[in-house]
């Protein structure tokens, strides 16, 4: 039997529909959540990402603002901009689009964002809240992975999960979220011995290594759920590029019980969860839920 395909677009649409109703309810209380996106210089991929985020804000009725400092902006320039956004009452979420130019200290800039407005969930305060199971804003892609599993009725509690990758953006927070849902979690990385054998133990396998089609049938236990977080651009033999994941899709389709495709799997959930974080930040900051 072929593996079940977990289409992220369908789940994204469910989440956005729920958020639209919440935004309308907040508007009745006089609150309109606002997102500020900071895009430094000209970076084609980043421009596309930010454009899609602004478009989704408009779709939901969120206020949005794009700020475009020049490529020559310094760390101090961006720190001043972030500080201004921190103090604006109409801005609930601040998104600093990465990568930043090489002369900018990206860590200093991200650290300057008010944790209450850190809708990317990257501030150490929010990372600490996630680790200690306190209320906070979780990184968008890991939060999206949990939504895919839950809304697809994939059991998590008591399951063995293996996360390939230990990045602050995806691997570690995904592992924490899975642990909070009572999975038994193993985090793997480039130094893990016999990586394929460890991966084969997983009921839920999350691939976030950034290596095109690295995960083959040797990594997949028959019937496992495979979540492919990879977004790798590779050259096509006939010219141009193609977007591929970290998982060999043919092997996943044959061996897994369910898997996310690339594109159309985890990717659509990232923007949806950014919107969810912005609405959550507005509710927490402005007390909209208490006003109505």
* Active centre residues (catalytic): 53, 97, 120
The length of the chain in residues reads 292
Contact 216, 259 (CB under 8 A): no
Contact 185, 179 (CB under 8 A): yes
Residue listed under structure tokens 């454009």: 51
Rounded-to-integer distance, Cα 191 and Cα 199, Å:
14
Least Cα distance to 50 among 270, 230, 210, 280 occurs for 270
Contact 126, 115 (CB under 8 A): yes
Rounded-to-integer distance, Cα 96 and Cα 115, Å:
13
């Amino acid at each position: 039997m072929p593996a079940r395909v977990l289409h992220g677009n369908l789940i994204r649409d469910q989440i956005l529909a729920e958020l639209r109703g919440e935004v309308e309810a907040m508007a009745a209380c006089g609150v309109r959540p606002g997102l500020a996106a900071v895009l430094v210089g000209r970076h084609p991929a980043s421009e596309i990402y930010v454009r899609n985020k602004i478009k989704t804000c408009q779709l939901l009725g969120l206020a949005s603002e794009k700020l475009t400092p020049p490529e020559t902006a310094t760390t101090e320039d961006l720190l001043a901009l972030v500080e201004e956004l921190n103090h604006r009452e109409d801005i609930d979420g601040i998104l600093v689009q990465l990568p930043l130019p090489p002369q900018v200290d990206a860590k200093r800039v991200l650290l300057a964002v008010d944790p209450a407005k850190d809708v990317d969930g990257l501030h150490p305060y929010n990372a600490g809240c996630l680790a200690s199971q306190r209320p906070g804003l979780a990184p968008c892609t890991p939060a999206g992975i949990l939504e895919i599993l839950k809304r697809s009725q994939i059991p998590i509690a008591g399951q063995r999960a293996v996360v390939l990758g230990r990045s602050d953006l995806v691997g570690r927070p995904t592992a924490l979220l899975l642990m909070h849902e009572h999975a038994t979690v193993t985090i793997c990385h480039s130094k893990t011995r016999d990586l394929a054998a460890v991966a084969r133990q997983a009921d839920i396998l999350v691939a976030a290594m950034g290596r095109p089609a690295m995960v083959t049938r040797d990594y997949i236990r028959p019937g496992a759920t495979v979540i492919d977080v990879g977004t790798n651009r590779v050259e096509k033999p006939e010219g141009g590029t193609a977007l591929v994941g970290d998982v060999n899709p043919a092997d996943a389709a044959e061996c897994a019980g369910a898997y996310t495709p690339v594109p159309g799997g985890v990717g659509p959930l990232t923007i949806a969860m950014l919107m969810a974080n912005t609405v959550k930040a507005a509710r927490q900051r402005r007390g909209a839920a208490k006003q109505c």
